[in-house]
Homo-oligomer: A and B are copies of this chain.
């Protein structure tokens, strides 16, 4: 399996993440992918290549062009307004406010296009997000050209980003773009399977009213886990998309047994839906030692999960999402891939 990876991810490394009422060094940091790269090489998965340039055409069709322009210009506009720190949202269009009027002043714009203030934008964020997108797109192209699977070692991750909001360390929803590209390439139906610990609110949001992209997410119950305000089991899609959104929220302390049951259920429904291509939002923060999550998966469980996913027999793009137990991120991520390959 080929890995697509860009060194430009390093351009995004904010000084600050807002958590617990303080600024800390972001959990989502460059060293995460170093561990994945090293583990890939150790395990003989050394086919690691740089992606082609990103193709913005499918992105602009799927996501809000105003949001993309915002991401590209936010840092310059913020600095031009005299802001001293990194770009961090303060107010947002909260309950009872206009969801559809974007202010002109950059401070208001930032809040409009953001859904969580832990995530800062820096001078290099846009280029890093583009390089992450590029890896996802190149992985999709390789699979569309006939490879069984490819791994996009994306950083920053993408699954929390909606069509017009960043947050949760995510800026461009790589997995959603890949799913749309499979559709554009002729797949009748595509599934996004999100095994990151956190609900893939961005991906759900983007495809919520569509029947042609099935979304399934295993994640911490939103009553207890970020993103808190989405990810309930009764969110099943709307309109044509009714029934094409599958959420498996699980409680603190959930071990692999029930997690794997949820995975099997999602896999069965993806199989039954007649899906022709699969995108896996591959986060490994379901790991027992993850510092910001509460599931109890062991490292070996990730290999088992990979085997189960391979059972679908679908052309598959893995997009890297979260995982913050830094040294274990490599082992757990590569375990999923090896489980998939060895199945």
Contact = CB atoms under 8 A, between A and B. Distances in A.
A112 B228 contact: yes
Task: Describe A's contact surface by its main secondary structure.
Answer: loop
Contacts of A35: none
Contacts of A148: none
A94 B229 contact: yes
A78 interface: yes
A201 interface: yes
A108 B228 contact: yes
A201 B90 CA distance: 16
Contacts of A86: 21
Given A21-B78, A226-B108, A89 B115 contact: no
Contacts of A22: 84-85
A93 B224 CA distance: 14
A16 B168 CA distance: 22
Interface of A: 16, 18-23, 78, 82-99, 101, 103-105, 107-108, 111-112, 114-118, 120, 162, 164-165, 167-168, 201, 205, 222-230, 232
18 contacts: A20-B85, A22-B85, A23-B23, A90-B116, A90-B117, A91-B115, A91-B118, A91-B167, A91-B168, A94-B167, A95-B99, A95-B115, A96-B99, A96-B165, A97-B229, A105-B225, A107-B226, A108-B224
